[in-house]
Structure 1
Amino acid sequence: MKQLDLSFEEPQKVRRIWPVRKLVEHVCEQVEQEFADIWVEGEVSNCRPAPSGHLYFTLKDADAQLPVVLFRRQALLLRFKPQDGLHVLVRGRVSVYAQRGQLQLVGETIEPVGAGSLQLAFEQLKERLKAEGLFDASRKRPLPTFPRSVGIITSPTGAVIRDFLNIVGRRHAGLTVIVCAAAVQGESAAGEVESALAQLNASGLVDLIVIARGGGSLEDLNAFNSELVARAILASKLPVVSAIGHETDFTIADFVADLRAPTPSAAAELITEAQYRVAERLELQTNRLERATRFQLLHARQRLEIIPLGRSERRTTAMLHRLGQQLDDFGFRIEASVSGLVRDRQRAVDELAADVLHHEPRQMLGRMRERLGVGETRLERSLERTMRRWTARIEALDGRLRSLSPLAVLERGYALVLAEDGAVIRSTTQVAQGDRMRTRLSDGEFSSTVDGVVRKMKRKE
């Protein structure tokens, strides 16, 4: 009987040989499936942007490190610039760079740990622009003391523009305000503000520019923390006032602008301050001049009563000739004043007509015309009464009235020196080297700076 051979030979293992490319691709597929969307925390090191726009760095901790790449599209969306030593969270997918057989993290976004991305971007841009000298006080330009026209960049529908116009109208009605509409929030805001600055500079219609918006969060004010707006303010040929947010809000635009106003309302007060002060002082001086004139008239009447009759007739004739000329001069002045008032009224009517186009123009225009007609009638009557009163008073004036007039003193070569705040300079003790002052002459005034002070020594008794 034939015996069966029950022994088995161990099967020989089949050797599988992997090409490098296939193996790397297989590993890459497995890794990308397992780690398709993860967050990794670590410290940035060896950060280097490439000319292509891609961003490369290494994410590390105490025990390991991982190469990271952000491609150009993702890198452009970052709100801050990654730097070595920065502690961050990176979201992305794990992959293998086949050419090197190297594990890497393909990032989608980066968030700083411990600080918001907007705040970090703000601090980084602030330090960089400060190092370039954009915040230096030496490059800040003074605002024009008496601007004729101001351009404001803001939203035309917000409360900011209404408050601004109300304050300007109350303090300096003659100031022209040109509104250049721009978005003050959102992705397009920075570009629109830059375009508005360029338009106002090229127009030649304004003396200074105000950038204004109300308060908000850091995200709301982000347009004014952009380098685009900062460079546009720097390039402006006209002085720029930044009036953004509340008093506690600070933006990059505030640091670059020639003047920062705490609020838009404060900006309106700042640019009208000089005109407002001049109007106040002019009213005060007018009241003082009227009181002095009344006193001189009373004094002249008393002296006239004691002058002999013959001498009085000759002096009266000469005085009447002089007063006739003065009366003509007053008539010319009043006529010019009336023409100016009529022009101002007409300009006001034109502005109101443009404004009421959105608020029942026919009714409001009819009411304004009625008020204008009444005002003109009252003005004419008031001028007639004033002429009669002045004619009666002038006929009683004495020749000394003109010689005592402050303007006549100036015409003889004297001058009135005023400090920068409007105070009259009566002594050398009121000035010091470097002070700014204004000198009033009969036909105008000019500004000057004190180069030196020489004080007259008092004689000893």
Structure 2
Amino acid sequence: MNILSYKVNKKRKASLDFYLGKSQRKLPEFPKNIGLLTSESGDAIRDFRKHLGEFGFNVVHKDVMVEGINSIDSIVAGIRWFNEHPDVIENGIEVLVITRGGGSLESLQAFNSEAVAQAIFASKIPVVSAVGHERDVTIADLVADVRASTPTDAGRVISENWREAQKKVEYYSHSFLRSMDSLINKQQEKMTYQWKEITDIFFSKIESLFEKRFYFLKSILSHFSKIIVRDKKWLENSEKQLKAHDPQQKLKQGYSLIKDDMGKIIRSMDSIKIKQKLTVRVADGSFGATVTKKD
């Protein structure tokens, strides 16, 4: 087994420089399908999943040995398996995470091996290495496309863009809602103002119309009132005139009305003859008379 410690010796440094000089593969901006290489019995898998977040990730876990005499072969086989089985999930694995918890330098030897470095280098899938604690740096970390300090940090690295996108969506959603609230409030104020203008104009027109009708009716009533007063005076005057010319009134004043036997009023002496029968009417009745002489 070829083991490279963190303090690689000068004879192996040229080989390490070859791996480190490669152009790194970029992680997808928003990965969904993740391959996970770690031991199913360790805390790394739990910490990774916990901090990955709830963004609908599809995690395909392959159990591998992360320490011990067979760990190198197990890790290399796991890397190759994901690369040789792109159909393990729809649309394929987009990111491969190799992780384990912290430990002694001896327990991390598999991740300092040239075989693991070669497998990571040859992977067609971008690799995130998250081995040990933050102070632990392995050759696998250096050769991988992205280094995460811990399994927890690996979860954050994978979901970072999703979290930022979520923040932006929330920010723009809140901003949009605030803008809509502001726009709705402005439109409501505008509509309230316009409605007030419309109702003011409407009631002003109604009031003006009623005033015109009122003054029109008032003028008609005034006109008829004047006519009634005028006609009343005319009737009163006519009544006075009628009373003034009423024969009965004259009779009451001592006058008498004389008619011949034909009922014709005697107006002059020329209308009567001696011995002519006449009817004399006074205020309280009438009586007959005979003409005996003419003066």
TM-score, shorter chain, exceeding 0.5: yes
Partner residue of 2:288? none
Q: Distance in 1 between matches of 2:162 and 2:5?
A: 40
Structure 1 unaligned spans of 5+: 1-76, 81-117, 310-461
Among residues 185, 190, 193, which one is paired with 1:298 in the alignment?
185
* Structure 2 length-normalised TM: 0.60
Contact kept, 8 Å, 1:125 with 1:227, in 2: the verdict is no
1:218-367 equivalence runs, <5 A: 218-305=105-192, 306=194
Q: 1:273-328: per-residue Cα shift (whole Å, max 9, x none)?
A: 0000110111111112112112211222232241686xxxxxxxxxxxxxxxxxxx
Pair 1:286–1:263, CA change in 2 (3 A): same
Quick check: which has more Rg, 1 or 2? 2
The total of aligned residue pairs comes to: 192
Shift in Å at residue 124 of structure 1? 5.1
2:19 match: secondary structure: coil
Partner residue of 1:145? 29
Shift in Å at residue 167 of structure 1? 0.8
Among residues 126, 130, 147, which one is paired with 2:16 in the alignment?
130
Q: Distance in 2 between matches of 1:272 and 1:213?
A: 18
Q: Distance in 2 between matches of 1:291 and 1:246?
A: 44
Shift in Å at residue 162 of structure 1? 0.5
Q: 1:345-389: per-residue Cα shift (whole Å, max 9, x none)?
A: xxxxxxxxxxxxxxxxxxxxxxxxxxxxxxxxxxxxxxxxxxxxx
1:426-437 equivalence runs, <5 A: none
Pair 1:202–1:277, CA change in 2 (3 A): same
Structure with the higher strand share, 1 or 2: 1
Partner residue of 1:422? none
- Cα RMSD between the aligned structures? 2.3
Pair 1:125–1:163, CA change in 2 (3 A): farther
* Structure 1 length-normalised TM: 0.39
- Name the structure, 1 or 2, with higher relative contact order (CA <8 Å, separation 6+): 2
Q: Distance in 2 between matches of 1:291 and 1:267?
A: 36
> 1:189 aligned to 2:75?
no
1:193-212 equivalence runs, <5 A: 193-204=75-86, 205-212=92-99
Pair 1:120–1:179, CA change in 2 (3 A): closer
Among residues 126, 139, 154, which one is paired with 2:38 in the alignment?
154
Structure with the higher helix share, 1 or 2: 2
**Which deviates more, 243-252 or 271-280?**
243-252
Partner residue of 1:106? none
Structure 2 unaligned spans of 5+: 87-91, 199-295
Partner residue of 2:55? 173
Contact kept, 8 Å, 2:6 with 2:137, in 1: the verdict is no
Pair 1:274–1:227, CA change in 2 (3 A): same
Contact kept, 8 Å, 1:126 with 1:252, in 2: the verdict is no
Identity %: 35
